[in-house]
Amino acid sequence: MHRKPSGALAPHLAAALTVGARGTGGVMAIDGVAVCAALIALATAGPTWNRVPNPLVAQTAPLAIVLEVSKTMLQADVAPNRLERAKHKILDLLAVRAGARTALIAYAGSAHRVTPLTEDPEILKPFLEGLGP
């Protein structure tokens, strides 16, 4: 079932592109070796689905949290009010940064260090709860 080449292709290209043509052996052994080499290279690269954290961004870098405790923080435009919402956000941040050094500074006109840098978030919690205007 061989067809005669149409005049659209050059004869040497038609012979190379025709299935079962002379000079083409289908899949050659070198093709299999190349595929195996590519798979081995991919396997040794160790692809993973997990996201690798960036080592340049330290999650344990010291952090000073500055909290405004003026009367404007009592506005209820955010439930329950701005100050309580900020306290909740700080508690969430402390939970994520467990073991990292964190300090707390409060200000309302003038700034005051509430706690120095500490690795224990439990020390900051009572001071944070007691802050108010």
Helices (H) and strands (E) in the chain, counts: 4, 3
In a domain, 80, yes or no: yes
On whether both 122 and 95 belong to a single domain, the answer is yes
On whether both 68 and 118 belong to a single domain, the answer is yes
On whether both 35 and 67 belong to a single domain, the answer is no
Q: What is the CATH number of the domain that holds 93?
A: 3.40.50.410
Counted domains in the chain: 2
Give the structural domain span for 114: 63-130
On whether both 29 and 86 belong to a single domain, the answer is no
In a domain, 3, yes or no: no
pLDDT at 103 exceeding the cut of 70: yes
pLDDT in tens, 14-33: 777 776 545 555 566 777 88
Distance CA 3, CA 77 (A): 80
Q: Where are the beta strands (DSSP E) in the chain?
A: 63-68, 102-108, 110-118
Please give the mean pLDDT across all residues of the chain. Answer: 82
In a domain, 25, yes or no: yes
On whether both 67 and 111 belong to a single domain, the answer is yes
In a domain, 91, yes or no: yes
Predicted TM-score of the model (pTM): 0.56
